[in-house]
Amino acid sequence: MKENPDAANQAAHETSGKTARASDREPIAVWDSGLGGLTVLLALRARLPNEDFVYFADTRHFPYGDKPEDFLRARGRAVAAALWARGAKALVVACNTATAAAVSDIRKETQKPVIALEPALKPAVAASKTGVVGVLATPRTLESQRFSRLVADCAKNATVIACPCPGLAEVIEREGAQSAAAGVLLDRYLAPLNAAGADAVALGCTHYPWARKEIAARTPAGTIIVDSGEAVARQTEARLLRESHLGGRGRLIFAASDDAERFARAVTRLLAFSCPAEVWPV
């Protein structure tokens, strides 16, 4: 992505030949604790280039992967309430950990679309030839009832090797996926998947797609690596079409719960265009 999307997308969007309502032009909010959800944002913008998006990073509480479930549930309700108050027409929870802990509570408190994220286990199982599938995710995601239900529903005839990856999201965010520290962790976490013969790996944290090349280099040739970004984008489009809420001007706003300047520098580095950010004290 090389150009500023605000300059590239100027025309207002119309659905089925009808002029978009003012409420349709409200933004879609995308929420994560840090930079990982940008991988979901890229998939959303590729599918819905004329929509307005607000990306909120809860940097004050990054990372989520080691936080207690009660904290994450309360934090999820607070963040969602703040984004609704700022005019979001839909919320994409671009974090597997936050989804597992908080999305049920968030949905109880709104009628607006809330699109959840989960590890891409179903497509990984479908793509596997050996029937052995690996899942890389935070400990909190893998310990959740939501993940247990996902395995029961999607992997009845597959062997799932669930690998908790403490510290990996933090290292990717702060030092980069190509750093020596990330390499040490990836070697450690991928070893049991390789030993078990996994030929498909589901990325269960939105930070991990930034390390896709590094993961591929550490797994056998032909290993299929899947994440949830495109599936979430399709689901978001379907929900907004069903409720006739498509419409916008391609605008993009970044916000963080603290240290917006540092966050903006990191986003600019990853997306390769200037991305100023605001502080929203949620």
Query: Partners of 15 in the beta sheet?
Result: 18
Burial of 203-225, coded b for 16+ CB within 10 Å and e otherwise, reads bbbbbbbbbbebbeebbeeebbb
Q: What is the DSSP string of 170-197?
A: HHHHHH-TTSHHHHHHHHHHHHHHHHHT
The reply to whether 154 belongs to the active site is no
What letter represents residue 33's amino acid?
Answer: S
CA-CA distance, 37 to 39, in Å (whole number)? 5
CA-CA distance, 97 to 67, in Å (whole number)? 9
For residues 39 and 229, is the Cβ–Cβ distance under 8 A? yes
Catalytic residue among 95, 163, 165, 275: 95
Distances (CA, A) of 2 to 177, 197, 269, 273, 274: 20, 38, 11, 6, 10
CA-CA distance, 51 to 30, in Å (whole number)? 12
Give 188's contacts (C-beta < 8 A, 6+ positions apart). Answer: none
Closest CA to 70 of 43, 105, 36: 105
Catalytic residue among 154, 163, 205, 275: 205
CA-CA distance, 93 to 107, in Å (whole number)? 11
Closest CA to 163 of 133, 184, 183: 133
Question: Which residues have a catalytic role annotated?
Answer: 95, 205
